Structure formats: structure tokens, C-alpha cells
Amino acid sequence: MPTPQLPALDPTIAVAVGAALVVLGLAFAFWGRGIWKRIMALIGMILGGVLGFIAGYALLNGYILGSILFWRLMNIALALVMGLLAAALVFFAFGTPTGTADPQVIGAIVAFIVVFAISYYFIEELLGLVTAIIGGILVAIGMYIVRGVGSGLVSGLVGLGVFLVGLTVQEMKVRRQKKARAVMANPQAYVPPPPPSQ
């Protein structure tokens, strides 16, 4: 049986898609913490508009409501995505299911609940890590699309490098912000210099 092949893309389109993924990946890796709310608002706006169109409501209302909802529920959405990824990993790690009460189904549900709870509790600490991971993956995929077949190792290493450097940059920024907040919360009293002696 032949292996399924992806449809061939026009090289110009492939380069444009790959370059867009690289740019988006770099943005996520280095500025993910800062742009996350805007990205979630954009996703919510798109989903809200589609759901508003399907439900027959005015598109504008769907865009506005979806944008506000995803902007405010950003932490829940990220924890939900992480829980789903953990559940999928557990589910597919044990092969194909044979019924509904299989141990892998129960394990996936437990993994979802545990990872969702932990992620939601530690969301601020995990935000930089998750956006750096997403950025590294997007850069690796974009590099693979641009460079073509046979560049998987190089693309993966570049994605790994972007992940590591992006995570370091984001964590250094968070530490600077925490230090500045601590200084602002506990200001030092100004001691005037002693008067000049005569």
C-alpha cells in the first residue's frame, strides 16, 4: 500500500506560508507573554464571528462578544489547551482503544483534569514556557516548509534554539518586571546629603 503524500504546493506559496510561520513563531517565542492576550482576542473574534454567522446573529455582535470572551478567559483557554494536549498524549501513548472504558480513556480523562488544574493554578509561570514552545514549533515547521524535504534535522534544531533563547528572554523580562514591582512596592526613603562642612 503506497504511503499517502501531501499535495504539492506552489513553491511561492510554500515560501510565503513558511516565512509567515517563522515570523509568527519568532513573535511567540520572544514576545509571547506580551502578545498572548491579543492573539486570544483575535482567535475569539474569529470564532465569535463564525458562530454568530452560523447562529444567525449579527456578525458584529459575534466578533465583539468572542473577542471579549477570549480576552477575559485567556487563562482558562490556555489551561484547557494544555489539558487537552496532555489527554491526547496519554490517549495515543497506549495504542488504539478497544472500548469506551479502556484504561487509556480513563487515563486521558485523569491527565486532562490534573494538567488543567495545575496549569490553571500556575498559569503565569507557564505562559512564557508555553508560548516559547509554540514559537519553536512554528519556526521549525516554517523552516521545514521553506527548506524542503531533507531539512528536518536542521529545522528541528533551529526550532529548539528559538525555543531555548525565547524562553530565556521571556524569563529574564519577567524577573526584571518582578524586581521593578518589588522596588516600587518598597521604596527607599530619600536621605539628603549632609551639608557641606566649612
pLDDT (0 to 100) of residue 71 = 67
52 vs 175: which has the higher pLDDT:
175
160 pLDDT tier (thresholds 50, 70, 90): very high
> To the nearest whole percent, how much of the chain has pLDDT over 70?
83
pLDDT (0 to 100) of residue 57 = 59
* Separation of alpha carbons 176 and 128, rounded Å: 14
Q: What pTM was computed for the model?
A: 0.66
Beta-carbon contacts of 59 under 8 Å, excluding residues fewer than 6 positions away, are 49, 52, 53
> Is residue 101 helix, strand or coil?
coil
Length of the chain counted residue by residue: 198
pLDDT (0 to 100) of residue 56 = 61
> Is residue 61 helix, strand or coil?
helix
pLDDT of 131 > 80? The answer is yes
pLDDT of 170 > 80? The answer is yes
pLDDT of 152 > 80? The answer is yes
Q: Look over the chain and give the mean of its residue pLDDT values, rounded to a whole number.
A: 80
| 3-state helix/strand/coil string of 111-150 | HHHHHHHHHHHCHHHHHHHHHHHHHHHHHHHHHHHHHCCC
In single-letter form, the type of residue at position 171 comes to E
**What average pLDDT does range 20-25 have in this prediction?**
88
pLDDT (0 to 100) of residue 140 = 92
Q: Where are the domains of the chain?
A: 13-173
> To the nearest whole percent, how much of the chain has pLDDT over 90?
15
* Separation of alpha carbons 120 and 47, rounded Å: 22
